[in-house]
Structure 1
Amino acid sequence: MSLIDNREEMTYAEYLKWDEGKRCEVLDGQVISMTPARTPDHQRVLRELAVEFAMYLRGKECETFTSPIDVCLFDKKKTDINKIKNWVQPDLIVVCDENKIDNKRIIGPPDLAAEILSPSTAKNDRILKFNKYEEAGIKEYWIVDPYNQVIEVYLLEDGTYQRQGMFFRKDVIKVNILSDLEIDLKNVFLIEAEEEYEDKV
């Protein structure tokens, strides 16, 4: 995506001056996406994933958050906002370090991030964000395909993502960063997929 107003770079300080409700994601100072309206399929999957994580984490050290929430991938609370040039809004995150939870944003990489694919975001989620999440040190990354009802799980090993597996509606996923959480994907993909879709990611 081309930059807004043809700017060469954007900082988080500039972004904070935008009107409330107007959002974007930026990597290396470059705008990679504006927040689009979500489809019903996207909303259903995100809702059910959030329920699974939230119920398990209630009363525990880690917390889960859903988009829209800014995640400043490489920064600390003392970082000058004029120097922040990487922030994203993953669909779902899990944060186990309370020091990363600021009043208005998440500062530093979460422990887990999940992105739900759409035709307009698939390239960002599979390439741009994949690489930045790996670089930032997010331990576990889920790429969720609501159209084909599959979740790809990547684990960070020696600084590089390794695919743990692909999990379908009939499967149960073990959440690697949490010791005993398993999610039955029939509770996430509530409606059986049609055999064909007009648009696939």
Structure 2
Amino acid sequence: MVMPDPKRKFSYRDYATWAEEKRIEIVGGEPYDMTPAPSRKHQYTSKQLFAALNDYLSGDPCEAYYAPFDVRLFAEDRADDQVFDVVQPDLVVVCDPDKLDDAGCKGSPDVIIEIVSPSSIKMDKKVKRHLYEKAGIKEYWIIDPIHAYIEVYTLENEKYGKPLFYSKEDHLKSALFKDLKIDLEYIFE
């Protein structure tokens, strides 16, 4: 696949025409190559967490989705050629069914979960944390499967405060889902 011209600002309309052989995200109109494919440990962590969330959300209007799943931020009232932030988080939770369409999520999901790898850690911890804060993502979880910990950022007054840290021995809790309790031994087996 030919990579997009880096001097140009790209929109969701452009993104939708690109071949699917590479994972690309757009932040501020700039394309980011998200390859190579995730590691086995990354995929295992994603699978376990999705299973726990899916089980917890059963019968709830909120739904969990896993990558690849396009999230078009700042898109609620915009045409596709005016959407300049398109991400594919590892997992998302969407509680407003009006944000869901056949292309994914149009607007901000309630929770975004990124599982970091050595090649994505700067992007996930800095660029995306700022982007997700600006987009009003209520909770942002950053998972490090190699070191077996999770950082949870909660949006308060339109800003992320200090994250809560959870290790393999802990049970993850969420400010959004009061009775959610995920055994991290299960996630990081």
TM-score by length of 2: 0.94
Q: CA RMSD in A?
A: 1.3
Aligned to 2:17: 17
3-state SS in 2 of match to 1:6 = coil
User: Following TM superposition, by how much is the alpha carbon of 1:133 offset from its aligned partner in structure 2, in angstroms?
Assistant: 0.2
Counterpart-to-counterpart distance in 2, 1:143 and 1:34: 16
Structure 1 moving runs of 4+ over 6 Å: none
Q: How many residues align?
A: 187
Letter in 1 for 2:28: D
Cα distance, 1:20 vs. partner? 3.5
- Cα distance, 1:63 vs. partner? 0.2
Task: State the identity %.
Answer: 40
Structure 1 unpaired stretches of 5+: 191-201
The question of 1:31 aligning with 2:31 is answered yes
Partners of 1:152 and 1:6 lie apart in 2 by: 32
Q: CA deviation at 1:79?
A: 2.0
Contact 2:6/2:30 (CA < 8 Å) preserved in 1? no
Question: 1:104, CA displacement in angstroms?
Answer: 1.3
Contact 2:141 2:150 in 1 (8 A): yes
Q: Distance in 2 between matches of 1:142 and 1:11?
A: 26
Please say if 1:74 is aligned against 2:65: no
Q: Residue 198 of structure 1 corresponds to which residue in structure 2?
A: none
Offset at residue 178 of structure 1 (A):
1.1
Q: Distance in 1 between matches of 2:33 and 2:19?
A: 17
Q: The residue matched to 1:5 in structure 2 has which SS?
A: coil
- Rounded to whole Å, the distance in 2 between the matches of 1:52 and 1:90 is 17
Distance in 2 (CA, whole Å) between partners of 1:104 and 1:36 is 23
Equivalent in the alignment of 2:167:
168
Instruction: Give, in angstroms, the shift of residue 32 of structure 1.
Output: 2.5
Q: 2:178 maps to which residue?
A: 179
Give the Cα–Cα distance (whole angstroms) in 1 for the partners of residues 41 and 22 of structure 2. 23
**Structure 2: 5+ residue stretches without partners:** none
Q: Deviations over 1:83-115 (max 9, x none)?
A: 111110110110000001111120111111110
- Map of 1:38-57 to 2, 5 A cutoff? 38-57=38-57
Q: Distance in 2 between matches of 1:43 and 1:6?
A: 30
Using the alignment, how far apart are the partners of 1:127 and 1:183 within structure 2? 26
In structure 1, distance between residues paired with 2:94 and 2:43: 21
Conserved 8 A contact 1:32-1:124:
no
Q: CA deviation at 1:30?
A: 0.5
What's the TM-score once normalised by structure 1's chain length? 0.89
Shift of 1:159: 0.9
CA distance in 1, matches of 2:163, 2:119: 25
